[in-house]
Amino acid sequence: MKIGICSDHAGLDYKTRLIAYLLGKGHQVVNFGTDSSESCDYPDFAHRLGNAVASGDVDAGIALCGTGNGMAITLNHHHGIRAGLAWNTEIARLVKEHNNANVLVMPARFVSYRMAVMMVRTWIETEFAGGRHQRRIDKIEL
């Protein structure tokens, strides 16, 4: 799978470590920044990832910021993006199974790195359930 990933300064450490994890699992990874620990604006990186997922340049995306909310809000403004904010493996499973989230968003300041890895693994391995969930997804876009 070709996975795009981005973060702001709050998610930089986890992003860097997740890139190594994903590469080790055989995925291709495209880094959309940031690559600095200096304070920055999360929309700059979320828009790059959102455009790449929406255009099909990458198969899916992962985004991290302090609370995850800024990334999720920004990403969900992109047509065709379903960014799901998760803070445990059950939520990571459900955002894929029920919402077919094509971007997983995590709050780097509120989850351990171990939990972040478990959420990524769960989200990648989970299949979309379809059925009634597809009917609901079809009603999202205006």
Binding residues: 8-9, 66-70, 99, 109, 132, 136
User: Which residue among 65, 78, 79, 133 is the active-site one?
Assistant: 65
Number of helices followed by number of strands (H, E) in the chain: 6, 5
Phi first, then psi: give them for residue 6, nearest 5 degrees.
Answer: -150, 165
Residues placed in the known binding site for D-ribulose 5-phosphate: 8-9, 66-70, 99, 109, 132, 136
Helices (H), the chain: 12-24, 42-55, 69-75, 89-97, 113-125, 132-137
The Cα-based distances of 34 to 27, 73, 76, 141 in angstroms read: 20, 18, 19, 29
- Is 65 tagged catalytic? yes
Q: Is 68 left (phi over 0), alpha (psi -120 to 50) or beta?
A: left
d(CA 110, CA 32): 22
Question: Pairing between strand 83-85 and 103-107?
Answer: parallel
Known active-site residue 98: yes
* Residue of 40, 77, 78, 98 with catalytic role: 98
Instruction: Name the residues annotated as catalytic.
Output: 65, 98
